[in-house]
Structure 1
Amino acid sequence: MAHMTNSTIYKTITFAHPFSLEGVEGTYPPGSYEVTESRESVDGLSFIGYRRTKTTIELPGSLAAYVSRQVVEVEPADLEVALERDALAGAA
C-alpha cells in the first residue's frame, strides 16, 4: 500500500504597500504576513517529489466580524502577482 508523506512549509512575505489578492475581499496594509504551504509526497516517481495541496496566508480579520486574524486559502500564482505589483509600486 502506498504511503503519502505530508509536509508543511512556513514562510513570511512582506508587502511594502497596501495590497489585495485575487479572490480575497479587501485591501490589506503593508507588513509581514505568514504563508503556509501544505504538500504531500508523490508516489511512483524515481525521485522524491511533492505536490502542493494548499497554500494559506494569515491576514488581519475584519473589524466588523470582531476577528483579530483570518487564515485564507490562496492560489500561489495570485500571491506571486500581488508581490510583483508591490515591487513595481516601489519602483514607480
Structure 2
Amino acid sequence: MTVRSRREVVTFNHPFRIKGIDRQLPAGVYEVITDEEMIESLWFAAFRRVATVIKVPAEGSGNLMMQDISISPADLSDAQRTDASPSDS
C-alpha cells in the first residue's frame, strides 16, 4: 500500500480552539500533516485521506516540546474560518 504525507503550514492570528483538543491554543504558526493512501484498484492515481495531525506545543512544556494531535480536516477549517472572521470588539 502506498502512503504519502502532505505537510502544510497554517497560521492563526488569534488564540483558537479545535474540536478534539481540550485546551485553547495560542496564536502562531502550526504544522499540519495529512497522510493519504493510494486507492490501488483504480486505473488512475487517486488517494484517500487516512489521517490529519496538527503539531502543537505540549501542555506545560513552555513550547519546548511538540505534541502530535489527530484532528478532523473539517474542524481545522472551522477553526481557520473563525480565526479569519472579524471579532466582536
Runs of 4+ in 1 over 4 A off after TM superposition: none
Larger relative helix fraction? 1
Aligned position for 1:61: 58
Any idea what SS the aligned residue of 1:63 has?
Answer: coil
**Aligned ranges for residues 75-86 of structure 1 at < 5 Å?**
75-86=72-83
Aligned ranges 1:39-58 → 2 under 5 Å:
39-58=36-55
Deviation at 1:44, TM superposition (A): 1.4
Identity %: 33
TM-score when scaled to structure 2?
Answer: 0.89
Contact 1:13 1:33 in 2 (8 A): yes
CA shift, 1:68, in A, is 2.1
- Report the 3-state secondary structure (helix = DSSP H, G, I; strand = E; otherwise coil) of the residue aligned with 2:85: helix
Q: Deviations over 1:31-50 (max 9, x none)?
A: 10000001100011132100
Runs of 5+ consecutive residues of structure 1 not aligned to the other structure: none
Q: TM-score, normalised by structure 1?
A: 0.86
The count of aligned residue pairs is 87
Q: CA RMSD in A?
A: 1.8
